[in-house]
Amino acid sequence: MSHTMGYLDWTDALDVGVDAMNREHQRLIDLMNELHTGNERGENKAMLLSRLDKLAKWTVSHFSHEEAYLESIRYPKLTSHRRIHADLLRQLDGHVTSFRESDHKTLPKELFTFLKLWLTAHIQGIDAQYSPVRKSA
Ligand SMILES: [Fe+2]
Ligand SMILES: [Fe+2]
C-alpha cells in the first residue's frame, strides 16, 4: 500500500506484529493526515468537524477490534489497556467538543500535537506490548 507523505508517516517503529492491527493503525494515521491537510487548506468548520467525527468513529471501532483481539489471545494486561483506550476517547471527545463549541474556524495546533503523540506513543508504547514478535523495549 502506498502512502503520500503526510503529517505523520508510517514507519517500522509502528509495527505491532499483527497485520490486521497494523492496517487499522495505518487507516487512523491516514485519517489524521487528511484532517491535517484539510485544516491547512482552510476547509470549512462543518467539513473539519465531519472529518474529526469520522476519525473518532474509526478510533472507537479500532479500539473495540483491538480489545476483541486481545481477549481472543487472553492478553493479561487487557484491563489496563481498556482503561487507557477509554481515557484516550475521553480526551479526544474533549478536544472535539471544545472545537465545536469555540468560535475557531481552524483546528488548533494542540489537537494535532495530541493526535500525533497519541498515535505514536500509544502504538509504540502500549500496543507494541501485545506484539507476538516482541521487540525488546
Ligand atoms: Fe491500543
Ligand atoms: Fe491500537
28-77 per-position pLDDT tens digit: 999 999 999 999 999 999 999 999 999 999 999 999 999 999 999 999 99
Residue 71 domain boundaries? 17-130
Residue 9 falls inside a structural domain: no
Domain count, the chain: 1
How far, in Å, is the centroid of ligand 2 from the Cα of 87? 14
CATH code for the domain in which residue 75 is found:
1.20.120.50
Ligand having the closest approach to the CA of 75: 1
How far, in Å, is the centroid of ligand 2 from the Cα of 103? 32
How far, in Å, is the centroid of ligand 1 from the Cα of 106? 28
Residue 5 falls inside a structural domain: no
Q: How far is the C-alpha of 67 from the C-alpha of 61, rounded, in Å?
A: 10
pLDDT score of 1: 45
pLDDT score of 2: 45
How many CB atoms sit inside 10 A of residue 128's CB?
Answer: 17
Residue 136 falls inside a structural domain: no
Contact 65, 24 (CB under 8 A): yes
pLDDT score of 134: 63
Residue 33 falls inside a structural domain: yes
First to last CA, the chain: 28
How far, in Å, is the centroid of ligand 2 from the Cα of 57? 14
Residue 112 falls inside a structural domain: yes
Name the DSSP class of 42: T
Residue 137 falls inside a structural domain: no
